[in-house]
Every structure is written in C-alpha cells, then in structure tokens.
C-alpha cells in the first residue's frame, strides 16, 4: 500500500512539473528581428528575444540541416559575434557548449536577448544569401531557437535594407514587415525573399498565389501565371483539395541555376533566366513547378514517420525518400502532361529516358533504392568520382518505380484504379484522419489494398533489391512495349570520362564494368598516348575506330610515373529504350493507355 501511494505521488509530481513547464511556455513571448544594414558584406544581423522564461540559463540552438534537403550542413559555421543581454541591455554571460548551441546564463531575467551575425553567401534553395541586390533567408540557416520553446508562437520583424520595399514569404503578415508564426517549425519552413523583386498575384483553384521573381529573365508574366495555374489545378484535381489559404512561389532567375525546395505553403525555385523562351526549358520549369507544388501534399503533409516532428540537431533517417521524392518525380512530368504541355509521344519519351538513366547507371545494380533513401545523408549530396558506380538516385529510380506501380494497379483493376487512388487514400488516412506519418509497410499495404494484389515480390526485388524489372511485363497493361534501339550495336564501352588541365588529358571518372575499368585506368591518370599516337581532343575518334575484342596500348602518367596499360575493348551493353504500341491493343489496354496519358475517348 505504501509503495502504491509513493508511485501515485511520483506521478503527481511529474504531472505538476509538466504542467508548470507548459504554463511557463505559454507565459513566454518570442520575438526575432532580422536586419541587413550592409548587404554587400553578406551579413544578416539577428536578434532573438525571449520574454517571461525566468530561467537560470537558456540554450540557443542553430539547426544543422534544412528539411527537404537531407544533408547535415552545419549552419552554425556561419554564425559570428554571439552576445546576450537582459531587458535593460546589461550583458549576460554566455558560452558555446557544443557545435551549434550557445548557453546564456540568464539568472532568471525576465527578458533575454541573443544577438548574432550570420554570413550568408551561398545561393541555393537550401541556404541563405545576401548581397547588394537582394536577401534570401531559409529559416534553419538563420534562426536559432531557445531550447524548450520550439512550440512557442512568436513574431518576426524584418528590417529591409534602405530602398528595399518588398518581402515575400508564406508567413502571416501583420503589416510593416512584421510576421507571426505559431511555432518554430513554421518559422523554419517559411523562406523569405527580401528586396526589390517583381511580385505578381494570381488565383489558382480558388486560392491566392504570389509569384516573386528575382533576377529578371525572358518570361512573360501573364502567360507564365496562366500556365502555372493549369499545372496547379491538375494537382488539386488529383489530390481532391488544396490545403492552404495562400501560396508563395519564390523564383530565383540566375545565369545558371536549377532545383527547388518545398515548404508548407511556399516553395523556392531556381532556373536559368533565359530558359523561358526555349520550349524544352519552359516545359522543364513547369515540371519543376509541378514537382515542388506536389510536395504540398506528398512530404509536407503526407510524410514518412521520421520526417516530422523534426529533430534539427541530427539526421532524420527514412527508407522512403523514393516515395517522398521519387513518386513526386513521377507526378511532375505527368501533371505537365495532364495540363496539356506535353504530347503523349513526347511524354512517353520522357518516361523512356528515365528508364534509360536508371538502367545505364552501374550503381543501380549495387544500391537498392530503399538504401539510397536511407543513405541520402552521407551519399546523395556528397557525390564523388565513384558515385555513379555505387549509387542510384531515389528521385529517378523512385519515379520509374512509380510508373511500374501505376501499371500494376491499372492492370489489376482493368483501368478502374491507379497510383492516384493510392496517393489520395494515403493522404486522407495518414494526414487527415490519423494525423501522423506513415510507416514503410503502410505504403505497401495501401498499394495492395487499391490493387487487390500482394506486392511482396515487387518490394523485395525492386525496392529492397537491385533486380532489373521486365519492363514490358508492366507496360503491356497499356499496350506498350519498350524496344532497345541499341540492340545489336557494335559500339565499344570505353568507360572513361576525361577533362583537359594545363594541356594534359586527365581521367575524371571510370565506369564500373567498362573497358577502362577492367583495363586498370584510374581517376587522375593522365592519358598520354593510345597505340603509339598522342591522345588529346581526338581521343573519342581514336577509341571509336576500334572494335570489340581489340586491345589498346594506353600510355599514362600516374603520380608522375609513366606506365603502359593494355586495355581490352568490351562491348557497349547500355540500353536506349523507346516505346512502341502493340498491334491491335485490347479494349482494356486502350482504356489504360488513354487514362494514363489523359487522352479523351471521344
């Protein structure tokens, strides 16, 4: 009896302490101020003010990564001049206690202000950037959070450089460049574009959208917004709803650029400013729009279990990036097709190109796509000269698997169901109903539920294994066959890419299984001569004139030492698939073909 009472007393104490901490958090106030008085120096100035905490010390932590980009980037490396004061301006002692945490000994002060500078000069969608023309902020690379107050609502005040009159962000504005956020996750997930950029507004699916264009370019705003609206509305038609009341596109138009990063109600895109006038470049930009916008559902709401709530201090591992990114890649070109910007034949060429890319990547036979997802933190963003031999992209391979899953579902249901039904089911169940992330097995279970088929072999062979699918078994459902136009080619597989440095021809990479790989060529070897003739710009011509089975005498310099390698020429077994339609497709094949490619039956 006494033991039981002590247990109840312990529970009461824990409950009391928990309620006390919750009350303290509710009583606190959090306010950030972001300044940029000398943008040409690339330094932002940040002040984080916490009121009402009254603790002996407060730890301020800078995240190490940006959600959506799975690499520890060590944002604390750009922090300088950290100092802390109380509400009266009196200095408070502080010290750095680990790589990304500063401890402020606040002595239960009612107001604690942490001030620091952030060097921002990496122009990417994942980081922050500041120069004389504009400022761009990704929250995790800019704003520290006070430990224990991640769920605290707060205010952000932006003080743009003199003459800069615009701030574009998904945060809720209260006027005068002042914004509110319900918790740190939202602050971190709401990038800001600050400057004199062009701002356009349009409505898609009944929701206001903002298009913030930095850098200029050969785009035509009205046409661009009209075309983006078509893509957006195809996504909404697919998923059944648009779960935001406002959305912001931040577009960086650069001399050279590409890529995007998704956020809860916004995205940042990078593109070449002259891409818009090219038909291929314009379609590519619309595919980028479709990809990042589809993340609004897939990743930002429907998410694998480890991807939220986020731990900003360390890696957040999942084997499902092939679903989060790969299935999104499946939909980006498909939404562009549904919006009418790709013909069926051109779209089939895009699909065949993705399959070619996967099958011609040596790492596809080495790394399962689930492992590629898990190891993104140490491999995908840290590529080296051997990456192509050892890795496969969870974007491209995941997209290809999306096509195969779609064909499997459509074939099993005679065209009544598709991968669309799986995504809607997953979204409604795990995001809307259960409000949690999904587990690995639950994605497989959803496909089995919609298709009515067991998917054990598919996941064992293609997701968790490295077996190459029999593609025609899948695409026959739509009356399509893949034909390898390289079949019977007499080309050789040389397999060494090179570059010129100081007049020297140097090996950049060597492809697994190629002639160069088998013959012993190494990265950084200087190729001097082949079969007694000096090598140079004519290397490809020299190699192309040889036949399978021939042996090339290759003179190289390796670490300053001359040596000769005898390289046997091996056949080129790469594939170059293209789709052809089967003769006399069945009624079901025609139905699936039309439904997949959005072709009217009329």
* pLDDT over 70 at 23, yes or no: no
The CATH T-level fold of domain 203-296 is Neutral Protease; domain 2 (1.10.390)
Query: What's residue 602's pLDDT?
Result: 55
Burial code (b: 16+ CB inside 10 Å, e: under 16) for 305-314 equals: eebbebebbe
pLDDT reading at 464 higher than 70: yes
Q: What is the pLDDT of residue 16?
A: 45
CA-wise closest residue to 592 among 321, 441, 409: 409
pLDDT above 90 coverage of the chain, percent: 93
pTM: 0.94
DSSP reduced 3-state for 270? strand
Contact 398, 369 (CB under 8 A): yes
Bridge-partner residues for 485, per DSSP?
none
Q: What is the pLDDT of residues 257-301, one digit of tens each?
A: 899 999 999 999 999 999 999 999 999 999 999 999 999 999 999
Q: pLDDT digits over 148-169, tens only?
A: 999 999 999 999 999 999 999 9
Q: CA-to-CA distance for 564 and 385, rounded, in angstroms?
A: 23
Q: Do domains 203-296 and 320-486 have the same CATH topology?
A: yes
User: pLDDT grade, residue 555 (50/70/90)?
Assistant: very high
Average pLDDT over residues 197-205: 98
Neighbours of 533 (CB within 10 A): 10
565 alpha-carbon distance from chain centroid: 42
Which pLDDT score is estimated for 17? 44
Q: Which two tokens stand for residue 488?
A: 């019977």
CA separation, residue 384 to residues 124, 388, 391, 553 (Å): 20, 8, 11, 28
Helix axes 221-239, 419-426, angle to 10 degrees: 80
DSSP state at residue 524:
T
Instruction: List pLDDT tens digits, range 26-81.
Output: 579 999 999 999 999 999 999 999 999 999 999 999 999 999 999 999 999 999 99
pLDDT in tens, 238-265: 999 999 999 999 999 999 989 999 999 9
Q: pLDDT tens for residues 117-135?
A: 999 999 999 999 999 999 9
Which of 15-24, 176-185, 420-429 is predicted with the least confidence, judged by mean pLDDT? 15-24
- Torsion sign over Cα 412, 415, 417, 422: positive
pLDDT in tens, 489-548: 999 999 999 999 999 999 999 999 999 999 999 999 999 999 999 998 889 889 988 999
The confidence score (pLDDT) of residue 13 equals 44
Cα 540 to Cα 547: distance, rounded to the nearest angstrom: 13
DSSP 8-state code for residue 550: -
In CATH, which of 3.30.565.10, 1.10.390.10, 3.90.50.10, 1.10.3470.10 is domain 320-486?
1.10.390.10
Q: Which residues of 398-427 are buried (b: 16+ CB within 10 A; e: fewer)?
A: bbbbbbbbbbbbbbbbebebbbbbbbbebb
Question: How many beta carbons lie within 10 A of that of residue 377, not counting itself?
Answer: 16
Q: Is the distance from CB of 481 to CB of 582 less than 8 angstroms?
A: yes
Helices 279-294 and 328-338 pack at an angle, to 10 degrees, of 120
**What is the average pLDDT value for the chain, to the nearest integer?**
95
Q: What are the residue ranges spanned by the domains of the chain?
A: 24-196, 203-296, 320-486, 496-568
Is residue 203's pLDDT more than 50?
yes
Confidence of residue 571 (pLDDT cuts 50, 70, 90): very high
Phi, psi (rounded to 5 degrees) for 516:
-65, -40
Q: What is the pLDDT of residue 601?
A: 72
Render pLDDT for 311-341 as a digit per residue (tens, 0 to 9). Answer: 999 999 999 999 999 999 999 999 999 999 9
Task: Answer whether residue 12 shows pLDDT above 60.
Answer: no
Position 94 scores a pLDDT of: 98
For the stretch 369-407, pLDDT in tens is 999 999 999 999 999 999 999 999 999 999 999 999 999
Structure tokens at 480: 């399509």
pLDDT at residue 24 greater than cutoff 60: no
User: Which pLDDT does position 26 carry in this prediction?
Assistant: 52
What CATH number is given for 24-196 in this structure?
Answer: 2.60.40.3650
- Over range 4-23, report the average pLDDT: 46
Give, in words, the CATH class of 496-568.
mainly beta
Alpha-carbon span 197 to 168, nearest angstrom: 9
- Report the pLDDT value the prediction gives residue 9, as an integer from 0 to 100: 46
Q: How far out from the chain centre does Cα 340 lie?
A: 25
């Amino acid at each position: 009896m006494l033991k039981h009472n002590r247990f109840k007393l312990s529970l009461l104490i824990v409950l009391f302490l928990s309620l006390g901490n919750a009350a303290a958090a509710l009583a606190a106030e959090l306010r950030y101020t972001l300044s940029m008085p000398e943008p040409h120096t690339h330094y932002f100035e940040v002040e984080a003010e916490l009121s009402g905490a009254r603790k002996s010390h407060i730890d301020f932590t800078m995240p190490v990564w940006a959600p959506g980009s799975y690499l520890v980037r060590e944002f604390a490396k750009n922090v300088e001049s950290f100092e802390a004061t109380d509400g009266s301006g009196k200095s408070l002692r502080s010290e750095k206690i680990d790589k990304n945490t500063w401890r402020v000994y606040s002595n239960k002060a009612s107001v604690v202000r942490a001030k620091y500078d952030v060097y921002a000069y990496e122009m990417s969608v994942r980081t922050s950037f500041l120069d004389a023309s504009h400022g761009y902020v990704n929250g995790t690379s800019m704003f520290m959070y006070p430990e224990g107050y991640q769920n605290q609502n707060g205010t952000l005040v932006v003080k743009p450089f003199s003459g800069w009159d615009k701030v574009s962000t998904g945060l809720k504005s209260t006027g005068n460049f002042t914004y509110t956020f319900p918790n740190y996750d939202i602050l971190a997930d709401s990038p800001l574009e600050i400057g004199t950029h062009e701002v356009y507004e349009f409505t898609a699916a009944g929701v206001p959208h903002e298009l913030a264009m930095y850098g200029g370019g050969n785009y035509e705003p009205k046409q661009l917004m009209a075309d983006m609206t078509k893509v957006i509305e195809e996504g909404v038609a697919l998923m059944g709803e648009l779960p935001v009341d406002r959305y912001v596109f931040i577009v960086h138009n650069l001399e050279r650029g590409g890529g995007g990063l998704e956020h809860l109600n916004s995205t940042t895109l990078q593109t070449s400013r002259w891409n818009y006038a090219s038909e291929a470049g314009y379609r590519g930009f619309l595919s980028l729009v479709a990809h990042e916008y589809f993340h609004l559902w897939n990743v930002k709401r429907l998410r694998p279990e480890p991807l939220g709530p986020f731990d900003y201090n360390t890696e957040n591992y999942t084997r499902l990036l092939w679903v989060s990114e790969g299935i999104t890649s499946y939909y980006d070109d498909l939404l562009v097709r549904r919006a009418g910007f790709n013909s069926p034949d051109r779209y089939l060429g895009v699909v065949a190109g993705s399959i070619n890319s996967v099958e011609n990547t040596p790492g596809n036979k080495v790394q399962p796509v689930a492992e590629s997802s898990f190891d993104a933190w140490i491999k995908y963003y840290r590529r080296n000269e051997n990456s192509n031999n050892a890795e496969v992209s969870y974007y491209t391979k995941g997209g290809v698997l999306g096509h195969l899953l779609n064909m499997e579902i459509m074939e099993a249901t005679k065209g009544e169901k598709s991968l669309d039904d799986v995504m809607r089911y997953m979204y409604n169940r795990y995001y809307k109903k259960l409000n949690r992330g999904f587990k690995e097995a639950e994605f497989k279970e959803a496909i089995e539920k919609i298709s009515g088929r067991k998917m054990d072999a598919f996941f064992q062979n293609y997701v968790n294994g490295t077996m190459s699918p029999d593609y025609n078994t899948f695409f026959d459902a739509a009356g399509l066959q893949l034909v390898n136009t390289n079949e019977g080619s007499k080309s050789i597989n040389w397999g060494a890419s090179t570059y010129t440095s100081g007049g020297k021809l140097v090996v950049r990479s060597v492809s697994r299984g190629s002639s160069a790989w088998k013959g012993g060529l190494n990265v950084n070897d200087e190729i001097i001569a082949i079969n007694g003739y000096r090598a140079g710009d004519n290397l490809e011509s020299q190699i192309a004139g040889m036949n399978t089975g021939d042996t090339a005498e290759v003179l190289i310099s390796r670490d300053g030492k001359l040596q000769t390698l005898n390289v046997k020429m091996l056949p080129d077994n790469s594939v170059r698939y293209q789709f052809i339609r089967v003769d006399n497709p069945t009624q079901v094949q025609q139905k699936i073909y039309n439904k997949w490619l959005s072709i009217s039956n009329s």
